[in-house]
Amino acid sequence: MKNKRSSIQGLHVIGVLILAAFWVAPVFGETVIEAWDQVKIPPAPKIQTVEADSSRTMLLLLDFNKQVCNNERRPRCISSIPAVEKLALRARNAGVPVVYSLTIGSRIGDVAPALAAKPGERSVTSGPDKFIGTDLENILKTSGVTTVIVTGTAAHGAVLYTASGAAFRGCKVIVPVDGISAEGLYPEQYTVWHLLNAPRLSGQVTISRTDLISFR
């Protein structure tokens, strides 16, 4: 009987120690920082051909002003201008409204000459999310817009947050990859991946190219 009681007490002690180990010593897994070099790049998404309804679409030109779109800070922004210029011309010819955004402290005259605003075209000024502190949402609503084409810099700033904001407000979003830019390739890659994979965004966003976007 004594041996049996001792065995039971021993098991009880072991059980208590096991529980204490779980409660007192949390188990930490490997974080993304430790595993940084193990991350595998996902396959590139397919670029889609898009035909947009000109009566329900708006083209956004985000932060093409010289303060942030220049050869010193973002040469890839300068490189994107010819493609965006052609897209803007086709959009205007189809009757698609064009709206600009500017970084704080800049003015519409600071936009790259090739992308200069036409008379009557509107602009907003804000940080990365162009819906914050502006009337951009009202512009979309009063124009009956259900689709926005988002171009601009920075990909991981104005493009990511404004495209996301438009999607969260129920718009379909088209992002031409040759019309977005950043200081390097990784922010552009991340932006494309995020827009195509984030909850509530993936179903709203189409990744395209400026020459694959047409209007009906």
The CATH code that applies to domain 50-215 is 3.40.50.850
Instruction: Give tens-digit pLDDT for 165-203.
Output: 999 999 999 999 999 999 999 999 999 999 999 999 999
Is pTM beyond 0.95 here?
A: no
**Residue that is written with structure tokens 């988002």 in the block:** 150
pLDDT score for 5: 52
Q: Where are the domains of the chain?
A: 2-38, 50-215
Q: What is the pLDDT of residue 54?
A: 97
The pLDDT score that the predictor gives to residue 144 is 96
**Cα 76 from Cα 78, distance rounded (Å):** 5
Find residue 18's DSSP bridge partners.
none
Amino acid at 135: D
pLDDT digits (tens, 9 = 90+) for 67-125: 999 999 999 999 999 999 999 999 999 999 999 999 999 999 999 999 999 999 999 99
How many percent of the chain have pLDDT more than 90?
A: 86
Residue 28 confidence class, pLDDT cut points 50, 70, 90 = low
DSSP state string for 75-101: HHHHHHHHHHHHHHHHHHHTT--EEEE
Count of other CB atoms within 10 angstroms of residue 53: 14
Residue 21 reports pLDDT greater than 60: no
Q: For residue 19, is pLDDT > 90? A: no
